Amino acid sequence: MANCERIRVGILGFGTVGEGTYRMICDNEEEIVQKVGCPIEVRRIGIRDPKKERSLPGEFFTTDLEDIVSDPEIDVVIEVIGGEEPALSLIDLALDKGKHVVTANKELIAKHGSRLVTKARKLGLDLHFEAAVGGGIPIVQPLKHQLAGNDIVKMMGVLNGTSNFILTKMWDEEQTFDEALAGAQKAGYAEADPTNDVDGFDTMYKIAILAAIAFGKQIPLDLIHREGIRKVTQKDMHYAEVLGYRIKLLGIVEETGADDEILIRVHPTLVPEDHQVAKVEDAYNALWLHGDFVGDLMFSGKGAGSFPTASAVVGDLIDVGRNMMIGGSGSAIPYGEGMKCRPIGKLETRYYMRLVVADKPNTLGRIATVFGEAGVGLAAMEMRTLENDLGEIVFLTHKCVESSFTSSLEDVRLLDVVESVESWFRVED
Amino acid sequence: MANCERIRVGILGFGTVGEGTYRMICDNEEEIVQKVGCPIEVRRIGIRDPKKERSLPGEFFTTDLEDIVSDPEIDVVIEVIGGEEPALSLIDLALDKGKHVVTANKELIAKHGSRLVTKARKLGLDLHFEAAVGGGIPIVQPLKHQLAGNDIVKMMGVLNGTSNFILTKMWDEEQTFDEALAGAQKAGYAEADPTNDVDGFDTMYKIAILAAIAFGKQIPLDLIHREGIRKVTQKDMHYAEVLGYRIKLLGIVEETGADDEILIRVHPTLVPEDHQVAKVEDAYNALWLHGDFVGDLMFSGKGAGSFPTASAVVGDLIDVGRNMMIGGSGSAIPYGEGMKCRPIGKLETRYYMRLVVADKPNTLGRIATVFGEAGVGLAAMEMRTLENDLGEIVFLTHKCVESSFTSSLEDVRLLDVVESVESWFRVED
C-alpha cells in the first residue's frame, strides 16, 4: 500500500490544529524528508464550512469527508475535527479502507481507544494519538515505549492549559474565578462555553488515556471522580499559600495494590509549593510520574495551541511514514477493556477545609472533638476573626480515609457553632 | 531470525546497570510480556572477573564475551560495559552476527554512533541507546520520533548527575568544591578519578549524542568547547545569587543560522534562578529545548543509577522485541557525519566576571573604559572592599561576542590597578 515516492496525507478538519499541521509539513519539509526518507504530501483537506476564507487554494478543500477517507490515493488520514461524531465513523471508515490514522482527539481515544487500536493492529495499520494528551509534550509514546518496562505507581498531571491559566491569573493577579475566566476567554484560551475545560472533562479524558496506556486497560469514564475549578476561591489560595501549598487542577491516577485496580480522579488539589507540579504556570502542561525502576520523572511544555499540537501530529505522521518505508506498520499497542476503579470514598489522603464558625468559647474544642472521635487527625490550623461575631478556621488533616473525613465533616457542619463549610480540597504530599 | 516464543538476550557487563537490567526483566516480567507479546529471557551474562561474588547462579556467567555475541541462540545483545573497547568490537561483531543491540554507552555512541546506526540499518537490525543520555528520562527516542518534525533551535541540559550533586552541595551546604567532591565520592556518586564527570567529558558525550539526533549529523567531539566545574567557587555562587542566578554545568547546543552549522559547548553557566534548568537539584538530570513548532519543553528525572538506567535499557529492549514480533526491525534512524561547529570565540552571550583590584580612586573608571572602548557593555556590578587596600568587583556584561570579551578582559588584566581576574563564566538568559 505504501507509495514509496511520497506519503500522501488527507487532513480532516482545518481549525487551528489542522492549519498548524499543514504549515509544519510545508515549513519543515527538509527535516521531514530526512527523517522519513521520502516527502510527505498533503493531498486533500476536509472542512465543514466551504464559505469560510482559507489560506490555501480551493482545490485542496472538500466538504465530503468520507471521500477523503475512501480516496485510494491517500495513505494516512489525520483527524483533527475533535468530538465524538463524525470523527469516530470517519476513523472507522479510514481503517476499513486500509489507511493509517493520526488523531489529536482525546474524547474519542478516551472513549473508544481500546477498540480502535485493536482494530488497527489487526489490520496491520498504525493508529497514533500523541497529540491527544499534553499537546507537543512527548508523553503518550514515551509511556508506551521508553517507560514500558516500568510498573507505573502513580501519575499526576496538569493537563488542561485553560484551567491552569485561570488558576495562575487568580494567584498572580488576585483575580476572582469569573474575572480570570473572562480574561482566558478574551485571550483565546477558553471557549464561550468553558465547561469542557473548567469542569474537568478535558483533564478526565487525558488522564484516562494515560492510565489506559500505563495500566494496559481502557478506563470506564464514569468511574473517574471528576471535579472542576469553579469552586476555587482567592481565599482558599491565600490559606493554601500560608500553609505552604498551591492549588492546581490535577488528573491523578495510582495503583491501589489490588490486581487491575486503580484509583483515578480529577480535582483541584493542594500541592506543596516546592513540588515540580506546583511550579507549572500559565497555559503550560506537565506530567509527573513515578515508576518502580525509573523513579520520579517530569515532562512539561505547552500543552495546547496550534503549533505545539501540530508538533505532536507531525511527529506521529513521521513515525507512520517511517513504518511504511520499512514495512513495519501495525505498531499500535492494543490494550484491553474493563479496568477496575476504586471508589473515591476509599481514597486515603490529607484534606484541607475552610469553615465559618461562631466566634465564641469552645467552638474549636467542639469541632476538634468531632474530628477526633471519627479518627480524623488535625495536622495544621489557621484561624481568623471575621465580622459579626464570626470566625474562619482552616484545617489540614493527617492522612485519613475519605469516607471518614466526609462523614465527620457532615457531623461538624451540623454543629450549632458552625455557620458553614465553605470549601474543602484534597491535598497531595 | 525472531524466535517467536521468546526474545533471547545476552548481557555484556554485570555492574550496577547490568544487574539493574537483569532485575527489571525478572521483576516486571508480567508488564513486559503484555507489551512485547512474548517473554524476554536473559540467557547469558558476560563478565570480566569470574571470581567476584554474584547474586545469580554461575551457569549464567562467562568471561568469553565474544562467545555471547556469536551465540546463535541469542537475539539481542545488551552492552553495558561502557568505554570504547572492547565494547565497540563486541557491538560490531554482534551486528555482523545478525543481533539487535541495546547499549547504554555514551562515549561509544558519541564517537561511533553514525557508523554503527548506519550499519545496523543496512543489516535490518535495531540499535538503540536511550540509556546513553539522561538515564531513565525518555530523551533520545522522543527527539527521534515525537519531536522529529521540529526544527530544534536550542537545547540545554543538566546531563551529569555527579556535577550537579556537587554544585547542589556547594550551594545548599556552603561546601567547597573539594569538600563536595569528597562527599559525592563517599555517597557513591563520584568515582575515585572524577575527571569524566567534573571535567565535563560525560556531559560532552551526551550533548553530542542529542545534537547528532536533533541536527542529523554526528558531532566531531574535538569541536565541542568543554570546561568542567573545578573552578566554580562558593564566592562566585554567592555573587551569582545576588545577581539572581544559579551556576549549573550545562551542555548547550544551538543553531547558528548557517547551513549544517551549530555552536556546541559544555561549561559552568549562570542561569536565571527562575529558569526551570536552575531548579534541577542533586543528582537529577534535565533537558530543556526549544523547537520551532513545539516551543519550550523540559524533561527531568534521575539521570543515572542502576534502576533508572535499567528502565531505559529495558524500554529499548521492549521496542526491539516488539519490532521482532511484527517484522519491522531495522528502525534505527541513520545520521551522517561532519557537522560544522562554530568556534566558541564567535559565541554571542552575556558574561560574568570577578576581579580583585586595587581599592583606590579611578580603578573602576579605568576598567570600565577598557571594556567600553572594546564595545563590551556592562549591565550590572557588585563591589566589595577586601583587606590590604584591595577590592573585589563583579560585572555582568550585556550580550557581546566572546572574542571581544576575552580580549578586552586580557587588556583589563594588564592594568596596574587589577590584581587578578579571579573567574569568569558565561551567562544564559
Q: What value does the mean pLDDT of chain A take?
A: 94
pLDDT(A379) > 90: yes
The pLDDT profile of chain B, 429 residues, written as one tens digit per residue, is 444 689 999 999 999 999 999 999 999 998 899 888 899 999 999 999 888 888 888 888 999 999 999 999 999 999 999 999 999 999 999 999 999 999 999 999 999 999 999 999 999 999 999 999 999 999 999 999 999 999 999 999 999 999 999 999 999 999 999 999 999 999 888 888 999 999 999 999 999 999 999 999 999 999 999 999 999 999 999 999 999 999 999 999 999 999 889 999 999 999 999 999 999 999 999 999 999 999 999 999 988 889 999 999 999 999 999 888 877 666 677 888 889 999 999 999 999 999 999 999 999 999 999 999 999 999 999 999 999 999 999 999 999 999 999 999 999 999 999 999 999 999 998
Per-residue pLDDT reduced to its tens digit, B211-270: 999 999 999 999 999 999 999 999 999 999 999 999 999 999 999 999 889 999 999 999
The grid coordinates of residue B335 equal 545520521
A31 to chain B: closest CA residue: B149
Task: Judge if the upstream peptide bond of residue B72 is cis by omega within 30 degrees of 0.
Answer: no
**DSSP annotation of B217:** B
The answer to whether residues A351 and A427 touch, using CB atoms and an 8 Å cutoff, is yes
**C-beta atoms of A319 and B145 within 8 A:** yes
Helix (H, G, I), strand (E, B) or coil at B106: helix
Judging by beta carbons within 10 Å of its beta carbon (0-12, 13-18, 19+), is residue B338 exposed, middle or buried? exposed
Q: How near does any CA of chain B get to the CA of A205, in Å?
A: 21
The grid coordinates of residue A235 equal 481565599
pLDDT band at A50 (very low <50, low <70, confident <90, very high): confident
Q: What is the pLDDT of residue A3?
A: 47
User: Do A119 and A199 share a structural domain?
Assistant: no
User: Do B92 and B189 share a structural domain?
Assistant: no
The answer to whether residues B268 and B125 touch, using CB atoms and an 8 Å cutoff, is no
The grid coordinates of residue A252 equal 491523578
**Closest by Cβ to A312, choosing from B146, B308, B311:** B146
User: Do A148 and A128 share a structural domain?
Assistant: no
Question: Best of B30, B128, B144, B294 to disrupt the A interface by mutation (most A CBs within 10 Å)?
Answer: B294
Q: What is the pLDDT of residue B331?
A: 67
Q: What is the pLDDT of residue A55?
A: 82
Say if A339 falls within a structural domain. Answer: no
- Please compute Rg for chain B using Cα positions: 24
Say if A194 falls within a structural domain. Answer: yes
Q: What is the pLDDT of residue B1?
A: 40
Helix (H, G, I), strand (E, B) or coil at B16: helix
Say if A104 falls within a structural domain. Answer: yes
Per-residue pLDDT reduced to its tens digit, B325-336: 877 666 677 888
DSSP string, A289-330: EEETTTEEEEEEEE-SSHHHHHHHHHHHHHHHHHHHHHT---
Residue ranges of A 149-208 with Cβ closer than 8 A to chain B: 149-151
**In this structure, what is the dihedral angle of CA atoms B80, B86, B92, B94, given to the nearest 10 degrees?**
-60
Ramachandran area for residue B124 (φ above 0: left; ψ -120 to 50: alpha; else beta): left
Q: How near does any CA of chain B get to the CA of A289, in Å?
A: 10
User: Do B168 and B99 share a structural domain?
Assistant: no
Task: Express as a percent the part of chain A with pLDDT over 90.
Answer: 87
For strands B418-427 and B400-401, give the pairing: unpaired
Would you give the distance in Å from CA A10 to the centre of its chain?
27
The model's pTM: 0.94
**C-beta atoms of A299 and B302 within 8 A:** no
Q: What is the pLDDT of residue A329?
A: 67
A259-277 in b/e form (b: 16+ CB < 10 A) is eeebbbbbbbbbbeeebbb
pLDDT(A272) > 90: yes
Q: How many CB atoms lie within 10 A of CB B5?
A: 9
The answer to whether residues B126 and B100 touch, using CB atoms and an 8 Å cutoff, is yes
User: Do A13 and A132 share a structural domain?
Assistant: yes
* CATH code, domain with A393: 3.30.70.260
Say if B358 falls within a structural domain. Answer: yes
Q: What is the pLDDT of residue A347?
A: 98
* CATH code, domain with A279: 3.30.360.10
Whether B206 is a known active-site residue: answer yes
User: Do A355 and A258 share a structural domain?
Assistant: no
Identity of the residue numbered B287: L
The grid coordinates of residue A378 equal 488535625
Q: Does A338 touch chain B (CB under 8 A)?
A: no
Give whole-number Cα distances, A154 to A163, A321, A327, in Å: 22, 33, 36
CB within 8 A of B24, min separation 6: which ones? A149, A293, B307, B310, B311, B313, B314
Q: How many CB atoms lie within 10 A of CB B343?
A: 11
Residue ranges of A 5-64 with Cβ closer than 8 A to chain B: 20, 24-25, 27-28, 31-32, 34-35
- Which residue, among B91, B291, B321, has the nearest Cα to B210 in the 3D structure? B291
User: Do B112 and B28 share a structural domain?
Assistant: yes
Q: In sequence order, what are the beta bridge partners of A336?
A: A217
**C-beta atoms of A141 and B145 within 8 A:** yes
CB within 8 A of B267, min separation 6: which ones? B200, B225, B226, B227, B249, B250, B425, B426
Task: Report the alpha-carbon distance of residue A163 to residue A165 in Å, rounded.
Answer: 5
* CATH code, domain with B30: 3.40.50.720
Task: Report the alpha-carbon distance of residue B364 to residue B224 in Å, rounded.
Answer: 35
Question: Best of B7, B118, B145, B153 to disrupt the A interface by mutation (most A CBs within 10 Å)?
Answer: B145
Q: Regarding predicted confidence, which is higher, A37 or A194? A: A194
DSSP string, A182-219: HHHHHTTSS-SS-HHHHTSHHHHHHHHHHHHHHHSBPP
pLDDT(A276) > 60: yes
Identity of the residue numbered A150: N
**C-beta atoms of A146 and B141 within 8 A:** yes
Q: What is the pLDDT of residue B92?
A: 98
Task: Report the alpha-carbon distance of residue B184 to residue A254 in Å, rounded.
Answer: 34
Say if B331 falls within a structural domain. Answer: no
| Domain interval for residue B276 | 140-302
Q: What is the pLDDT of residue B3?
A: 47
**Closest by Cβ to B149, choosing from A145, A299, A314:** A314
Residue ranges of B 111-140 with Cβ closer than 8 A to chain A: 130, 136-138
A324 to chain B: closest CA residue: B328
What is the torsional sign of CA B350, B355, B360, B363? negative
Q: How near does any CA of chain B get to the CA of A372, in Å?
A: 39
Task: Report the alpha-carbon distance of residue B102 to residue B115 in Å, rounded.
Answer: 15
The grid coordinates of residue B130 equal 536511550
**C-beta atoms of B315 and A148 within 8 A:** yes
What H or E segment, with its residue span, contains residue A382? strand A378-385
Judging by beta carbons within 10 Å of its beta carbon (0-12, 13-18, 19+), is residue A207 exposed, middle or buried? buried
What H or E segment, with its residue span, contains residue B255? strand B245-255
Task: Report the alpha-carbon distance of residue A266 to residue A251 in Å, rounded.
Answer: 4
User: Do B368 and B265 share a structural domain?
Assistant: no
Judging by beta carbons within 10 Å of its beta carbon (0-12, 13-18, 19+), is residue B235 exposed, middle or buried? middle
User: Do B317 and B295 share a structural domain?
Assistant: no
Say if A350 falls within a structural domain. Answer: yes
Question: Best of B28, B35, B146 to disrupt the A interface by mutation (most A CBs within 10 Å)?
Answer: B146
How big is the A-B interface in CB pairs under 8 Å? 205
CB contacts, 8 Å: B22 with chain A: none
Task: Report the alpha-carbon distance of residue B212 to residue B143 in Å, rounded.
Answer: 10
Say if B339 falls within a structural domain. Answer: no
Ramachandran area for residue A65 (φ above 0: left; ψ -120 to 50: alpha; else beta): alpha
Q: What is the pLDDT of residue B2?
A: 45
Task: Report the alpha-carbon distance of residue B254 to residue B402 in Å, rounded.
Answer: 16
**C-beta atoms of B322 and A331 within 8 A:** yes
User: Do B166 and B286 share a structural domain?
Assistant: yes
Q: What is the pLDDT of residue B328?
A: 67
For strands B418-427 and B348-358, give the pairing: antiparallel
Say if A388 falls within a structural domain. Answer: yes
Helix (H, G, I), strand (E, B) or coil at A231: coil
Task: Report the alpha-carbon distance of residue A262 to residue A151 in Å, rounded.
Answer: 13
Task: Judge if the upstream peptide bond of residue A86 is cis by omega within 30 degrees of 0.
Answer: yes
Q: What long-range pairs does A175-180 form, CB within 8 A, spacing at least 24?
A: A175/A234, A176/A233, A176/A234, A177/A229, A177/A230, A177/A232, A177/A233
Q: What is the pLDDT of residue B330?
A: 66
Overall domain count for chain B: 3
What is the torsional sign of CA B347, B350, B356, B360? positive
Per-residue pLDDT reduced to its tens digit, A246-255: 999 999 999 9
Task: Report the alpha-carbon distance of residue B226 to residue B94 in Å, rounded.
Answer: 33
Question: Best of A145, A260, A277 to disrupt the B interface by mutation (most B CBs within 10 Å)?
Answer: A145
Q: How near does any CA of chain B get to the CA of A28, in Å?
A: 7
**Closest by Cβ to A318, choosing from B149, B296, B307:** B149
CB within 8 A of B279, min separation 6: which ones? A276, A279
Would you give the distance in Å from CA B65 to the centre of its chain?
28
User: Do B194 and B112 share a structural domain?
Assistant: no
B140 to chain A: closest CA residue: A146
Would you give the distance in Å from CA A26 to the centre of its chain?
29
Identity of the residue numbered A98: G
What H or E segment, with its residue span, contains residue B69? helix B65-70
pLDDT(A1) > 50: no
pLDDT(A115) > 80: yes
Task: Report the alpha-carbon distance of residue B5 to residue B10 in Å, rounded.
Answer: 17
User: Do A282 and A145 share a structural domain?
Assistant: yes
